[in-house]
Amino acid sequence: MYCPNCGTNNSNDAHFCINCGHDLSRGTQEETKEYRMPENGYHTDSRPGDPNKNWASYLSIIMSVASLFISFTLIPAVVCAICSLVFGIIGLKSQYKGLSIASIVVSGVSIIVTVLLVVFVFNIFSSFATALTPSYYMW
C-alpha cells in the first residue's frame, strides 16, 4: 500500500507510513492503493501565498539584520532599514509571511537604535563643545 501523503510503498498491514508517519489506518485500502505523483515530479508546497515573492522575504530579513549590525553608520543603516521595510511589505504576500513580519520588526528596531545613537552622539558632542568653550566667550 502506498502512502497518500508521501508515496512511500509500505507493507499492506502497516498502520503508519515508514517514511513520514502518516496514519494509514484512517483511509480504506482502496484509497491508499495508488499514489499519483504531481505533474512536475515534485511535491508542491502547501503554504499559502505567492511563491514568486519569496525572494522579497529572504532579502528583507538579510537587509534588516545587516541594518541592525551597521546601525552605527547612521545613513547607510537607515537606508538599509527602509529598503528592508519595503521588501518586507512585498514579502507579506509570499509563502514566508512570518519571515517578512520578523524582518519588519527588526528593521523598526534598527531605525530606533540608529535614532538613539544619533541623539546620544549629538548630546556628547554638544556637551564637549560646551565644556571646551572658554568662559569669556559665553555671555
Each residue's pLDDT tens digit, 65-111: 998 888 878 888 889 999 999 999 998 888 888 889 999 999 999 99
Q: What are phi and psi of 16, to 5 degrees?
A: -135, 150
Looking at residue 83, its pLDDT comes to: 92
As a whole number of angstroms, the distance between CA 106 and CA 97 comes to: 14
Q: Within 10 A of 131 (CB to CB), how many other CB atoms are there?
A: 7
Contacts of 102 (CB under 8 A, 6+ apart): 61, 64
Q: Is pLDDT at 18 greater than 70 in this prediction?
A: yes
As a whole number of angstroms, the distance between CA 80 and CA 130 comes to: 34
Alpha helices in 1-139 (DSSP H): 54-69, 75-91, 97-132
**∠97-101-106 over CA atoms, to 5°?**
145
Looking at residue 72, its pLDDT comes to: 79
Q: Within 10 A of 81 (CB to CB), how many other CB atoms are there?
A: 28
Give mean pLDDT, residues 111-137. Answer: 79
Q: pTM here?
A: 0.57
